[in-house]
Structure 1
Amino acid sequence: MSPYDLFIAPFAEFDFMRRALVGVIALGLGAGPIGVLMMLRRMSLAGDAMAHAILPGAAVGFLAAGLNLFAMTIGGLVAGFAVAIGAGAVARATQMKEDAALAAFYLVSLALGVMLVSLRGSNVDLLHVLFGTVLALDDPTLLLIVGVSTVSMLTLAVLWRPMVVECVDPGFLRSVSRAGTPTHLVFLALVVLNLVGGFHALGTLLAVGLMMLPAATARFWASDLTALVLTAVLVACGSGVIGLLVSYHLGVPSGPAIILVAGGAYVLSVLVGPIGGILLRLMPRRHLEA
Protein backbone atom coordinates (compact mmCIF):
# COMPACT_ATOMS: atom_id res chain seq x y z
CA MET A 1 0.00 0.00 0.00
CA SER A 2 1.43 3.36 -1.05
CA PRO A 3 1.72 6.32 1.34
CA TYR A 4 -1.02 8.06 -0.67
CA ASP A 5 -3.44 5.15 -0.15
CA LEU A 6 -2.49 4.95 3.51
CA PHE A 7 -2.66 8.60 4.57
CA ILE A 8 -4.35 10.76 1.91
CA ALA A 9 -6.81 8.65 -0.07
CA PRO A 10 -9.35 8.18 2.77
CA PHE A 11 -9.73 11.95 3.12
CA ALA A 12 -9.50 12.70 -0.60
CA GLU A 13 -12.10 10.14 -1.66
CA PHE A 14 -14.75 10.28 1.07
CA ASP A 15 -16.67 13.32 2.19
CA PHE A 16 -17.53 11.83 5.60
CA MET A 17 -13.82 11.40 6.33
CA ARG A 18 -13.13 15.04 5.48
CA ARG A 19 -15.94 16.15 7.78
CA ALA A 20 -14.59 13.96 10.57
CA LEU A 21 -11.10 15.39 9.95
CA VAL A 22 -12.34 18.98 10.32
CA GLY A 23 -14.30 17.99 13.42
CA VAL A 24 -11.41 16.33 15.28
CA ILE A 25 -8.99 19.14 14.42
CA ALA A 26 -11.49 21.72 15.70
CA LEU A 27 -11.96 19.68 18.87
CA GLY A 28 -8.19 19.46 19.35
CA LEU A 29 -7.72 23.21 18.92
CA GLY A 30 -10.40 24.04 21.47
CA ALA A 31 -9.98 21.22 23.98
CA GLY A 32 -6.16 21.11 24.08
CA PRO A 33 -5.62 24.40 25.96
CA ILE A 34 -8.64 23.75 28.21
CA GLY A 35 -7.15 20.37 29.16
CA VAL A 36 -3.84 21.98 30.12
CA LEU A 37 -5.62 24.51 32.37
CA MET A 38 -7.67 21.71 33.96
CA MET A 39 -4.48 19.76 34.63
CA LEU A 40 -2.88 22.81 36.27
CA ARG A 41 -5.99 23.22 38.42
CA ARG A 42 -5.87 19.51 39.39
CA MET A 43 -9.35 19.12 37.89
CA SER A 44 -8.60 16.20 35.55
CA LEU A 45 -11.10 13.82 37.14
CA ALA A 46 -13.58 16.67 37.56
CA GLY A 47 -13.57 17.00 33.78
CA ASP A 48 -14.61 13.37 33.46
CA ALA A 49 -17.40 13.91 35.97
CA MET A 50 -18.65 16.98 34.10
CA ALA A 51 -18.55 15.07 30.81
CA HIS A 52 -20.97 12.54 32.22
CA ALA A 53 -23.04 15.29 33.79
CA ILE A 54 -24.27 16.48 30.39
CA LEU A 55 -25.87 13.08 29.69
CA PRO A 56 -29.23 13.65 31.45
CA GLY A 57 -29.74 16.97 29.65
CA ALA A 58 -28.87 15.43 26.31
CA ALA A 59 -31.19 12.54 27.12
CA VAL A 60 -34.08 14.93 27.88
CA GLY A 61 -33.41 16.64 24.54
CA PHE A 62 -33.46 13.21 22.90
CA LEU A 63 -36.78 12.33 24.53
CA ALA A 64 -38.29 15.63 23.40
CA ALA A 65 -37.02 15.74 19.80
CA GLY A 66 -35.05 12.58 19.02
CA LEU A 67 -31.50 12.92 17.72
CA ASN A 68 -31.98 16.66 17.23
CA LEU A 69 -28.79 18.73 17.41
CA PHE A 70 -30.37 21.83 18.94
CA ALA A 71 -32.41 20.01 21.60
CA MET A 72 -29.55 17.75 22.73
CA THR A 73 -27.07 20.65 22.77
CA ILE A 74 -29.29 22.90 24.87
CA GLY A 75 -30.09 20.01 27.21
CA GLY A 76 -26.41 19.14 27.59
CA LEU A 77 -25.44 22.75 28.29
CA VAL A 78 -28.15 23.18 30.92
CA ALA A 79 -27.24 19.90 32.65
CA GLY A 80 -23.51 20.62 32.52
CA PHE A 81 -23.87 24.09 34.05
CA ALA A 82 -26.33 22.79 36.64
CA VAL A 83 -23.95 20.07 37.82
CA ALA A 84 -20.91 22.37 37.85
CA ILE A 85 -22.75 25.03 39.87
CA GLY A 86 -24.52 22.47 42.06
CA ALA A 87 -21.33 20.65 43.00
CA GLY A 88 -19.65 23.96 43.84
CA ALA A 89 -22.61 25.02 45.96
CA VAL A 90 -22.64 21.71 47.87
CA ALA A 91 -18.89 22.00 48.50
CA ARG A 92 -19.28 25.53 49.88
CA ALA A 93 -22.42 24.84 51.94
CA THR A 94 -21.22 21.59 53.52
CA GLN A 95 -18.00 19.92 54.63
CA MET A 96 -17.86 17.83 51.45
CA LYS A 97 -14.96 18.49 49.07
CA GLU A 98 -15.81 19.59 45.52
CA ASP A 99 -14.32 16.45 43.94
CA ALA A 100 -16.52 14.23 46.12
CA ALA A 101 -19.58 16.31 45.25
CA LEU A 102 -18.75 16.04 41.54
CA ALA A 103 -18.34 12.27 41.90
CA ALA A 104 -21.80 11.99 43.44
CA PHE A 105 -23.36 14.15 40.72
CA TYR A 106 -21.47 12.18 38.06
CA LEU A 107 -22.78 8.78 39.18
CA VAL A 108 -26.38 9.99 39.43
CA SER A 109 -26.14 11.82 36.08
CA LEU A 110 -24.75 8.82 34.22
CA ALA A 111 -27.39 6.43 35.56
CA LEU A 112 -30.21 8.91 34.95
CA GLY A 113 -29.07 9.70 31.42
CA VAL A 114 -28.77 6.04 30.40
CA MET A 115 -32.22 5.31 31.85
CA LEU A 116 -33.82 8.26 30.02
CA VAL A 117 -32.33 7.31 26.66
CA SER A 118 -33.37 3.69 27.17
CA LEU A 119 -37.00 4.71 27.80
CA ARG A 120 -37.51 5.75 24.19
CA GLY A 121 -34.45 4.88 22.16
CA SER A 122 -32.88 1.69 20.92
CA ASN A 123 -29.46 0.28 21.70
CA VAL A 124 -28.18 2.15 18.62
CA ASP A 125 -29.42 5.44 20.04
CA LEU A 126 -27.77 4.67 23.39
CA LEU A 127 -24.46 3.89 21.68
CA HIS A 128 -24.78 7.12 19.70
CA VAL A 129 -25.14 9.13 22.91
CA LEU A 130 -22.42 7.29 24.83
CA PHE A 131 -19.79 6.94 22.10
CA GLY A 132 -20.70 9.56 19.49
CA THR A 133 -20.65 9.35 15.70
CA VAL A 134 -17.61 11.24 14.49
CA LEU A 135 -17.91 9.68 11.02
CA ALA A 136 -21.48 10.93 10.64
CA LEU A 137 -21.07 14.64 11.36
CA ASP A 138 -23.53 16.74 9.36
CA ASP A 139 -23.15 20.43 8.52
CA PRO A 140 -24.97 21.82 11.61
CA THR A 141 -23.00 19.58 13.99
CA LEU A 142 -19.72 20.48 12.30
CA LEU A 143 -20.57 24.18 12.52
CA LEU A 144 -21.37 23.74 16.21
CA ILE A 145 -18.01 22.08 16.92
CA VAL A 146 -16.08 24.69 14.93
CA GLY A 147 -18.07 27.45 16.65
CA VAL A 148 -17.24 26.07 20.12
CA SER A 149 -13.56 25.86 19.18
CA THR A 150 -13.59 29.44 17.88
CA VAL A 151 -15.30 30.80 21.00
CA SER A 152 -12.84 28.90 23.20
CA MET A 153 -9.75 30.24 21.44
CA LEU A 154 -11.03 33.83 21.36
CA THR A 155 -11.99 33.72 25.05
CA LEU A 156 -8.62 32.25 26.02
CA ALA A 157 -6.84 34.91 23.99
CA VAL A 158 -8.68 37.65 25.91
CA LEU A 159 -8.58 36.11 29.41
CA TRP A 160 -5.41 34.01 29.23
CA ARG A 161 -3.47 35.90 31.91
CA PRO A 162 -6.16 35.88 34.64
CA MET A 163 -7.00 32.26 33.84
CA VAL A 164 -3.37 31.20 34.32
CA VAL A 165 -3.05 33.22 37.53
CA GLU A 166 -6.31 31.69 38.79
CA CYS A 167 -4.85 28.24 38.13
CA VAL A 168 -1.61 28.94 40.02
CA ASP A 169 -2.87 31.08 42.93
CA PRO A 170 -6.61 31.83 42.97
CA GLY A 171 -6.32 33.49 46.37
CA PHE A 172 -3.82 36.01 45.02
CA LEU A 173 -6.05 36.84 42.05
CA ARG A 174 -9.02 37.46 44.33
CA SER A 175 -6.89 39.68 46.59
CA VAL A 176 -5.67 41.97 43.81
CA SER A 177 -8.65 41.86 41.44
CA ARG A 178 -12.37 41.24 41.29
CA ALA A 179 -11.85 39.03 38.25
CA GLY A 180 -11.30 35.82 40.26
CA THR A 181 -14.86 34.52 40.47
CA PRO A 182 -15.90 35.67 36.94
CA THR A 183 -12.75 34.09 35.51
CA HIS A 184 -13.53 30.80 37.22
CA LEU A 185 -17.11 30.85 35.93
CA VAL A 186 -15.95 31.64 32.39
CA PHE A 187 -13.49 28.76 32.60
CA LEU A 188 -16.21 26.34 33.73
CA ALA A 189 -18.38 27.59 30.86
CA LEU A 190 -15.58 26.81 28.38
CA VAL A 191 -15.19 23.33 29.86
CA VAL A 192 -18.89 22.61 29.48
CA LEU A 193 -18.99 24.04 25.95
CA ASN A 194 -16.08 21.89 24.81
CA LEU A 195 -17.54 18.80 26.45
CA VAL A 196 -20.86 19.39 24.69
CA GLY A 197 -19.04 19.87 21.38
CA GLY A 198 -17.01 16.72 21.99
CA PHE A 199 -20.17 14.87 22.99
CA HIS A 200 -21.61 15.12 19.48
CA ALA A 201 -18.45 13.59 17.98
CA LEU A 202 -17.14 11.23 20.66
CA GLY A 203 -20.09 10.71 23.03
CA THR A 204 -20.28 11.43 26.74
CA LEU A 205 -17.96 8.57 27.72
CA LEU A 206 -15.07 9.68 25.48
CA ALA A 207 -15.52 13.46 25.09
CA VAL A 208 -13.12 14.26 27.92
CA GLY A 209 -10.44 11.97 26.46
CA LEU A 210 -9.36 14.42 23.76
CA MET A 211 -9.17 17.09 26.45
CA MET A 212 -7.15 15.39 29.19
CA LEU A 213 -4.94 12.76 27.50
CA PRO A 214 -3.10 15.27 25.26
CA ALA A 215 -2.57 17.58 28.25
CA ALA A 216 -1.15 14.73 30.33
CA THR A 217 1.05 13.68 27.42
CA ALA A 218 2.39 17.19 26.91
CA ARG A 219 3.54 17.31 30.54
CA PHE A 220 6.30 14.81 29.71
CA TRP A 221 7.62 16.92 26.79
CA ALA A 222 7.35 20.53 27.93
CA SER A 223 7.54 22.53 31.14
CA ASP A 224 6.88 26.01 29.76
CA LEU A 225 3.17 26.84 29.68
CA THR A 226 3.14 27.99 26.06
CA ALA A 227 4.98 24.85 24.98
CA LEU A 228 2.58 22.75 27.05
CA VAL A 229 -0.44 24.20 25.25
CA LEU A 230 1.12 23.85 21.79
CA THR A 231 2.18 20.26 22.49
CA ALA A 232 -1.27 19.36 23.82
CA VAL A 233 -2.94 20.82 20.72
CA LEU A 234 -0.57 18.93 18.41
CA VAL A 235 -1.14 15.67 20.27
CA ALA A 236 -4.92 16.16 20.25
CA CYS A 237 -5.07 16.96 16.53
CA GLY A 238 -2.57 14.24 15.64
CA SER A 239 -4.48 11.65 17.68
CA GLY A 240 -7.67 12.62 15.89
CA VAL A 241 -6.12 12.26 12.42
CA ILE A 242 -4.30 9.00 13.18
CA GLY A 243 -7.35 7.59 14.96
CA LEU A 244 -9.52 8.26 11.91
CA LEU A 245 -6.99 6.51 9.68
CA VAL A 246 -6.82 3.53 12.04
CA SER A 247 -10.61 3.36 12.10
CA TYR A 248 -10.81 3.52 8.30
CA HIS A 249 -8.16 0.89 7.54
CA LEU A 250 -9.00 -1.56 10.34
CA GLY A 251 -12.77 -1.09 10.37
CA VAL A 252 -12.94 -0.32 14.09
CA PRO A 253 -15.11 2.35 15.79
CA SER A 254 -13.63 5.78 15.20
CA GLY A 255 -14.22 7.37 18.63
CA PRO A 256 -12.46 4.65 20.64
CA ALA A 257 -9.69 4.51 18.02
CA ILE A 258 -8.99 8.24 18.47
CA ILE A 259 -8.86 7.97 22.26
CA LEU A 260 -6.70 4.82 22.12
CA VAL A 261 -4.21 6.63 19.89
CA ALA A 262 -4.11 9.49 22.40
CA GLY A 263 -3.68 6.90 25.16
CA GLY A 264 -0.82 5.29 23.25
CA ALA A 265 0.89 8.69 22.99
CA TYR A 266 0.50 9.08 26.75
CA VAL A 267 1.99 5.64 27.52
CA LEU A 268 4.91 6.32 25.17
CA SER A 269 5.50 9.67 26.87
CA VAL A 270 5.45 8.07 30.32
CA LEU A 271 8.20 5.73 29.15
CA VAL A 272 10.49 7.96 27.08
CA GLY A 273 9.40 11.54 27.78
CA PRO A 274 12.37 13.83 28.44
CA ILE A 275 10.66 15.46 31.46
CA GLY A 276 10.10 12.81 34.11
CA GLY A 277 9.87 9.78 31.82
CA ILE A 278 10.58 6.38 33.38
CA LEU A 279 13.53 5.47 31.15
CA LEU A 280 15.20 8.83 31.74
CA ARG A 281 14.92 8.32 35.49
CA LEU A 282 16.45 4.85 35.22
CA MET A 283 19.45 6.03 33.20
CA PRO A 284 22.66 6.32 35.27
CA ARG A 285 23.64 9.91 36.02
CA ARG A 286 27.03 11.42 36.48
CA HIS A 287 28.25 12.00 40.02
CA LEU A 288 26.50 14.95 41.76
CA GLU A 289 24.25 15.53 38.71
CA ALA A 290 20.76 16.59 39.70
Structure 2
Amino acid sequence: MMLWNAFVQFAVSPFLEFSFMRRALVAALALALGSAPLGVLLTLRRMSLFGEALSHAVLPGVAVGFIFFGLSLPALSVGGFAAGVLVVALAGWISRHTELKEDASMAAIYVVALALGVILISRHGTQLDLLHILFGNVLGVDSQGLLLMAGVASVSVLAIAALYRGLLLESFDPAFMAVGRGARLGGAWYQQAFLMLVVLNLVASFQTLGTLMAVGLMMLPAVSARLWHDTLPAQLCNSVLQAAVAGYAGLLLSYYASVPSGPVIIVCAGVFYALSLLLAPRGWLPRLLRRAHLQG
Protein backbone atom coordinates (compact mmCIF):
# COMPACT_ATOMS: atom_id res chain seq x y z
CA MET A 1 0.00 0.00 0.00
CA MET A 2 2.83 2.36 0.85
CA LEU A 3 4.50 1.55 -2.46
CA TRP A 4 1.27 2.32 -4.35
CA ASN A 5 0.85 5.62 -2.50
CA ALA A 6 4.43 6.55 -3.34
CA PHE A 7 3.82 5.78 -7.01
CA VAL A 8 0.63 7.85 -7.08
CA GLN A 9 2.46 10.71 -5.39
CA PHE A 10 5.23 10.49 -7.98
CA ALA A 11 2.93 10.20 -11.01
CA VAL A 12 0.10 12.57 -10.07
CA SER A 13 1.34 15.22 -7.65
CA PRO A 14 3.09 17.48 -10.22
CA PHE A 15 -0.19 17.83 -12.13
CA LEU A 16 -2.18 18.47 -8.95
CA GLU A 17 0.22 21.07 -7.58
CA PHE A 18 1.03 23.16 -10.67
CA SER A 19 -1.42 24.64 -13.15
CA PHE A 20 1.25 24.93 -15.87
CA MET A 21 1.74 21.15 -15.69
CA ARG A 22 -2.01 20.59 -16.12
CA ARG A 23 -2.11 22.91 -19.11
CA ALA A 24 0.90 21.18 -20.64
CA LEU A 25 -0.75 17.77 -20.15
CA VAL A 26 -3.99 18.90 -21.80
CA ALA A 27 -1.96 20.36 -24.68
CA ALA A 28 -0.05 17.09 -25.14
CA LEU A 29 -3.27 15.06 -25.11
CA ALA A 30 -4.89 17.39 -27.67
CA LEU A 31 -1.87 17.10 -29.95
CA ALA A 32 -1.94 13.31 -29.60
CA LEU A 33 -5.61 13.17 -30.56
CA GLY A 34 -5.25 15.44 -33.58
CA SER A 35 -1.78 14.64 -34.95
CA ALA A 36 -1.23 10.90 -34.50
CA PRO A 37 -4.09 9.73 -36.80
CA LEU A 38 -2.79 12.02 -39.52
CA GLY A 39 0.62 10.40 -39.11
CA VAL A 40 -0.95 6.98 -39.68
CA LEU A 41 -2.54 8.23 -42.91
CA LEU A 42 0.77 9.78 -44.00
CA THR A 43 2.57 6.44 -43.55
CA LEU A 44 -0.27 4.67 -45.37
CA ARG A 45 0.29 7.02 -48.32
CA ARG A 46 4.08 6.60 -48.10
CA MET A 47 4.43 10.29 -47.33
CA SER A 48 6.15 9.97 -43.95
CA LEU A 49 8.84 12.52 -44.79
CA PHE A 50 6.23 14.92 -46.19
CA GLY A 51 5.20 15.87 -42.66
CA GLU A 52 8.82 16.56 -41.73
CA ALA A 53 9.19 18.85 -44.73
CA LEU A 54 5.96 20.70 -43.95
CA SER A 55 6.91 21.22 -40.30
CA HIS A 56 9.99 23.16 -41.45
CA ALA A 57 8.22 24.87 -44.33
CA VAL A 58 5.90 26.81 -41.99
CA LEU A 59 8.84 28.65 -40.43
CA PRO A 60 8.97 31.64 -42.84
CA GLY A 61 5.29 32.38 -42.16
CA VAL A 62 5.91 32.12 -38.43
CA ALA A 63 8.89 34.45 -38.85
CA VAL A 64 6.82 37.06 -40.71
CA GLY A 65 4.15 36.93 -38.01
CA PHE A 66 6.89 37.36 -35.38
CA ILE A 67 8.43 40.35 -37.16
CA PHE A 68 5.16 42.28 -37.28
CA PHE A 69 3.41 41.11 -34.09
CA GLY A 70 6.07 39.55 -31.83
CA LEU A 71 5.28 36.33 -30.00
CA SER A 72 1.55 36.67 -30.66
CA LEU A 73 0.06 33.20 -31.00
CA PRO A 74 -2.72 34.16 -33.47
CA ALA A 75 -0.24 35.98 -35.72
CA LEU A 76 2.31 33.17 -35.60
CA SER A 77 -0.39 30.58 -36.29
CA VAL A 78 -1.92 32.46 -39.24
CA GLY A 79 1.54 33.11 -40.71
CA GLY A 80 2.59 29.48 -40.29
CA PHE A 81 -0.62 28.15 -41.83
CA ALA A 82 -0.36 30.52 -44.79
CA ALA A 83 3.25 29.48 -45.40
CA GLY A 84 2.34 25.78 -45.20
CA VAL A 85 -0.52 26.19 -47.67
CA LEU A 86 1.74 28.17 -50.03
CA VAL A 87 4.46 25.50 -49.91
CA VAL A 88 1.96 22.69 -50.59
CA ALA A 89 0.53 24.61 -53.55
CA LEU A 90 3.99 25.45 -54.89
CA ALA A 91 5.19 21.84 -54.61
CA GLY A 92 2.06 20.65 -56.43
CA TRP A 93 2.53 23.22 -59.19
CA ILE A 94 6.17 22.19 -59.70
CA SER A 95 5.26 18.50 -59.88
CA ARG A 96 2.52 19.20 -62.46
CA HIS A 97 4.65 21.40 -64.73
CA THR A 98 8.06 19.70 -64.50
CA GLU A 99 9.43 16.17 -64.32
CA LEU A 100 10.08 16.46 -60.59
CA LYS A 101 7.92 14.39 -58.24
CA GLU A 102 6.05 16.22 -55.48
CA ASP A 103 8.30 14.82 -52.73
CA ALA A 104 11.43 16.03 -54.55
CA SER A 105 10.07 19.54 -55.03
CA MET A 106 8.94 19.61 -51.38
CA ALA A 107 12.43 18.58 -50.23
CA ALA A 108 13.97 21.44 -52.18
CA ILE A 109 11.45 24.02 -50.98
CA TYR A 110 11.49 23.14 -47.28
CA VAL A 111 15.28 23.48 -46.95
CA VAL A 112 15.13 26.97 -48.41
CA ALA A 113 12.08 27.84 -46.28
CA LEU A 114 13.81 26.66 -43.08
CA ALA A 115 16.93 28.69 -43.81
CA LEU A 116 14.88 31.77 -44.72
CA GLY A 117 12.83 31.53 -41.53
CA VAL A 118 15.93 31.24 -39.32
CA ILE A 119 17.48 34.28 -41.04
CA LEU A 120 14.34 36.39 -40.59
CA ILE A 121 13.95 35.54 -36.90
CA SER A 122 17.66 36.04 -36.19
CA ARG A 123 17.60 39.46 -37.83
CA HIS A 124 14.55 40.72 -35.94
CA GLY A 125 14.64 38.83 -32.63
CA THR A 126 16.90 37.48 -29.93
CA GLN A 127 18.53 34.09 -29.62
CA LEU A 128 15.86 33.19 -27.06
CA ASP A 129 13.08 34.01 -29.54
CA LEU A 130 14.72 31.75 -32.13
CA LEU A 131 15.07 28.88 -29.65
CA HIS A 132 11.45 29.32 -28.53
CA ILE A 133 10.14 29.06 -32.09
CA LEU A 134 12.46 26.23 -33.16
CA PHE A 135 12.06 24.07 -30.06
CA GLY A 136 8.80 25.26 -28.46
CA ASN A 137 7.88 25.54 -24.80
CA VAL A 138 5.17 23.12 -23.75
CA LEU A 139 5.29 24.32 -20.13
CA GLY A 140 4.54 27.86 -21.28
CA VAL A 141 1.22 27.04 -22.96
CA ASP A 142 -1.46 29.51 -21.93
CA SER A 143 -5.25 29.38 -22.19
CA GLN A 144 -5.17 30.85 -25.69
CA GLY A 145 -2.78 28.14 -26.82
CA LEU A 146 -4.94 25.44 -25.25
CA LEU A 147 -8.00 26.71 -27.09
CA LEU A 148 -6.08 26.64 -30.37
CA MET A 149 -4.85 23.07 -29.87
CA ALA A 150 -8.21 21.81 -28.64
CA GLY A 151 -9.94 23.45 -31.60
CA VAL A 152 -7.47 21.99 -34.11
CA ALA A 153 -7.78 18.52 -32.54
CA SER A 154 -11.58 18.72 -32.71
CA VAL A 155 -11.53 19.86 -36.35
CA SER A 156 -9.07 17.09 -37.23
CA VAL A 157 -11.09 14.30 -35.62
CA LEU A 158 -14.34 15.50 -37.21
CA ALA A 159 -12.71 15.98 -40.62
CA ILE A 160 -11.08 12.54 -40.58
CA ALA A 161 -14.43 10.98 -39.65
CA ALA A 162 -16.22 12.87 -42.43
CA LEU A 163 -13.56 12.18 -45.09
CA TYR A 164 -12.62 8.67 -43.91
CA ARG A 165 -13.99 6.70 -46.86
CA GLY A 166 -12.57 9.09 -49.45
CA LEU A 167 -9.18 9.20 -47.74
CA LEU A 168 -9.03 5.39 -47.74
CA LEU A 169 -9.91 5.19 -51.43
CA GLU A 170 -7.43 7.92 -52.28
CA SER A 171 -4.70 6.15 -50.27
CA PHE A 172 -5.22 2.59 -51.53
CA ASP A 173 -6.34 3.29 -55.10
CA PRO A 174 -5.27 6.77 -56.25
CA ALA A 175 -5.80 5.77 -59.89
CA PHE A 176 -9.51 5.18 -59.19
CA MET A 177 -9.80 8.57 -57.51
CA ALA A 178 -8.07 10.26 -60.45
CA VAL A 179 -10.41 9.04 -63.21
CA GLY A 180 -14.05 8.20 -63.78
CA ARG A 181 -16.31 8.01 -60.76
CA GLY A 182 -13.36 8.61 -58.44
CA ALA A 183 -12.68 11.95 -60.07
CA ARG A 184 -16.34 12.90 -59.61
CA LEU A 185 -15.93 12.10 -55.91
CA GLY A 186 -13.20 14.75 -55.79
CA GLY A 187 -9.97 12.76 -55.42
CA ALA A 188 -7.79 15.87 -55.72
CA TRP A 189 -9.89 17.66 -53.09
CA TYR A 190 -9.40 14.80 -50.62
CA GLN A 191 -5.64 15.09 -51.07
CA GLN A 192 -5.64 18.85 -50.58
CA ALA A 193 -7.99 18.71 -47.58
CA PHE A 194 -5.78 16.09 -45.98
CA LEU A 195 -2.63 18.16 -46.49
CA MET A 196 -4.38 21.22 -45.03
CA LEU A 197 -5.16 19.18 -41.91
CA VAL A 198 -1.50 18.20 -41.65
CA VAL A 199 -0.42 21.85 -41.93
CA LEU A 200 -3.03 22.91 -39.37
CA ASN A 201 -1.81 20.35 -36.82
CA LEU A 202 1.84 21.22 -37.38
CA VAL A 203 1.03 24.89 -36.77
CA ALA A 204 -0.82 23.96 -33.57
CA SER A 205 2.16 21.85 -32.46
CA PHE A 206 4.93 24.38 -32.95
CA GLN A 207 4.15 26.32 -29.75
CA THR A 208 4.74 23.22 -27.64
CA LEU A 209 7.30 21.23 -29.64
CA GLY A 210 8.75 23.88 -31.95
CA THR A 211 8.96 23.77 -35.73
CA LEU A 212 11.90 21.34 -35.61
CA MET A 213 10.12 18.66 -33.56
CA ALA A 214 6.42 19.29 -34.23
CA VAL A 215 6.31 16.30 -36.56
CA GLY A 216 7.68 13.93 -33.89
CA LEU A 217 4.39 13.34 -32.08
CA MET A 218 2.69 12.93 -35.44
CA MET A 219 5.00 10.32 -37.00
CA LEU A 220 6.70 8.25 -34.27
CA PRO A 221 3.48 6.81 -32.75
CA ALA A 222 2.08 6.27 -36.24
CA VAL A 223 5.10 4.26 -37.40
CA SER A 224 5.06 2.24 -34.18
CA ALA A 225 1.35 1.48 -34.54
CA ARG A 226 1.91 -0.12 -37.96
CA LEU A 227 4.13 -2.70 -36.29
CA TRP A 228 1.35 -3.74 -33.90
CA HIS A 229 -1.76 -3.91 -36.09
CA ASP A 230 -2.83 -4.77 -39.63
CA THR A 231 -6.16 -2.91 -39.62
CA LEU A 232 -6.33 0.86 -40.00
CA PRO A 233 -8.81 1.56 -37.14
CA ALA A 234 -6.56 -0.31 -34.70
CA GLN A 235 -3.54 1.64 -35.94
CA LEU A 236 -5.37 4.94 -35.46
CA CYS A 237 -6.32 4.09 -31.86
CA ASN A 238 -2.86 2.70 -31.03
CA SER A 239 -1.11 5.79 -32.38
CA VAL A 240 -3.28 8.12 -30.29
CA LEU A 241 -2.64 6.02 -27.17
CA GLN A 242 1.12 5.95 -27.73
CA ALA A 243 1.25 9.70 -28.36
CA ALA A 244 -0.81 10.43 -25.24
CA VAL A 245 1.33 8.20 -23.01
CA ALA A 246 4.51 9.69 -24.49
CA GLY A 247 3.20 13.18 -23.71
CA TYR A 248 2.35 12.27 -20.13
CA ALA A 249 5.60 10.37 -19.49
CA GLY A 250 7.68 13.09 -21.11
CA LEU A 251 6.17 15.82 -18.96
CA LEU A 252 6.64 13.76 -15.81
CA LEU A 253 10.27 12.86 -16.56
CA SER A 254 11.16 16.40 -17.59
CA TYR A 255 9.66 17.74 -14.34
CA TYR A 256 11.78 15.51 -12.13
CA ALA A 257 14.93 15.69 -14.29
CA SER A 258 14.67 19.47 -14.86
CA VAL A 259 15.19 19.17 -18.62
CA PRO A 260 13.17 20.65 -21.55
CA SER A 261 9.82 18.93 -21.88
CA GLY A 262 9.41 18.95 -25.66
CA PRO A 263 12.52 16.90 -26.46
CA VAL A 264 11.76 14.47 -23.61
CA ILE A 265 8.26 13.86 -25.03
CA ILE A 266 9.78 13.03 -28.42
CA VAL A 267 12.38 10.76 -26.78
CA CYS A 268 9.60 8.91 -24.96
CA ALA A 269 7.81 8.41 -28.28
CA GLY A 270 11.13 7.16 -29.65
CA VAL A 271 11.43 4.65 -26.80
CA PHE A 272 7.98 3.29 -27.64
CA TYR A 273 9.08 3.02 -31.26
CA ALA A 274 12.21 1.08 -30.24
CA LEU A 275 10.13 -1.28 -28.08
CA SER A 276 7.73 -1.77 -30.98
CA LEU A 277 10.62 -2.63 -33.29
CA LEU A 278 11.69 -5.26 -30.79
CA LEU A 279 8.43 -6.69 -29.42
CA ALA A 280 5.54 -5.91 -31.78
CA PRO A 281 4.01 -8.79 -33.80
CA ARG A 282 5.66 -7.36 -36.93
CA GLY A 283 8.88 -6.49 -35.09
CA TRP A 284 12.27 -8.18 -34.88
CA LEU A 285 11.86 -10.64 -31.99
CA PRO A 286 8.52 -12.25 -33.03
CA ARG A 287 9.80 -12.62 -36.58
CA LEU A 288 12.97 -14.22 -35.28
CA LEU A 289 10.95 -16.67 -33.15
CA ARG A 290 8.66 -17.52 -36.08
CA ARG A 291 11.66 -18.15 -38.32
CA ALA A 292 13.26 -20.37 -35.68
CA HIS A 293 9.99 -22.28 -35.25
CA LEU A 294 9.68 -22.90 -38.98
CA GLN A 295 13.29 -24.03 -39.25
CA GLY A 296 12.88 -26.27 -36.19
Instruction: Give TM class, smaller chain.
Output: over 0.9
Q: Measure the CA separation in 2 of the matches of 1:287 and 1:265.
A: 29
Task: Pick the structure with more helix per residue.
Answer: 2
User: What's the TM-score, normalizing by structure 2?
Assistant: 0.95
Cα distance in 1 between the residues matched to 2:28 and 2:148:
12
Gaps in structure 2 of 5+ consecutive residues: none
Higher mean C-alpha displacement, 278-287 vs 102-111: 278-287
2:96 maps to which of 92, 103, 124: 92
Which among 276, 280, 284 is matched to residue 273 of structure 1?
A: 280
Q: Which residue of 2 aligns with 1:182?
A: 189
Stretch deviating more after TM superposition (170-179 or 195-204): 170-179
- Could you tell me how far apart the structure 2 residues matched to 1:164 and 1:197 are? 25
Secondary structure of the residue aligned to 1:252 is: coil
**2:216 maps to which residue?**
209
1:274 Cα shift? 1.1
Among candidates 216, 227, 232, match of residue 220 of structure 1: 227
Give, in angstroms, the shift of residue 121 of structure 1.
1.0
Alignment partners' CA distance in 1, 2:266 and 2:237: 19
Matched, 1:136 2:143: no
Query: CA separation in 1, counterparts of 2:293 and 2:58?
Result: 52
TM-superposition CA deviations, 1:69-127 (whole Å, max 9, x none)? 11111100110000011011101110111111111111001100001110111111001
The one-letter amino acid of 1:121's match is G
Give the residue type in structure 2 aligned to 1:111: A
CA distance in 2, matches of 1:7, 1:228: 27
**Runs of 4+, deviation exceeding 4 Å:** none
1:13 matched to 2:20? The reply is no
Q: TM-score, normalised by structure 1?
A: 0.97
1:247 corresponds to: 254
Structure 1's unaligned 5+ residue stretches are none
Q: How does 1:139-154 map to 2 (within 5 A)?
A: 139-154=143-158
After superposition, the CA RMSD in angstroms is 1.3
Check if 1:164 corresponds to 2:180. Answer: no
Aligned to 1:69: 73
Output the CA distance in 1 between the equivalents of 2:212 and 2:196.
Answer: 19
Structure 1 residue 46 displacement after superposition: 0.9
Alpha-carbon shift at residue 170 of structure 1 (Å): 1.2
Identity %: 51
**2:280–2:286: 8 Å Cα contact kept in structure 1?**
yes
For residues 47-81 of structure 1, what are the alpha-carbon distances to aligned partners after superposition, in whole Å with 9 as ceiling and x for unaligned? 10000000000000000010001111110011000
Structure 2 CA distance, aligned partners of 1:136 and 1:287? 54
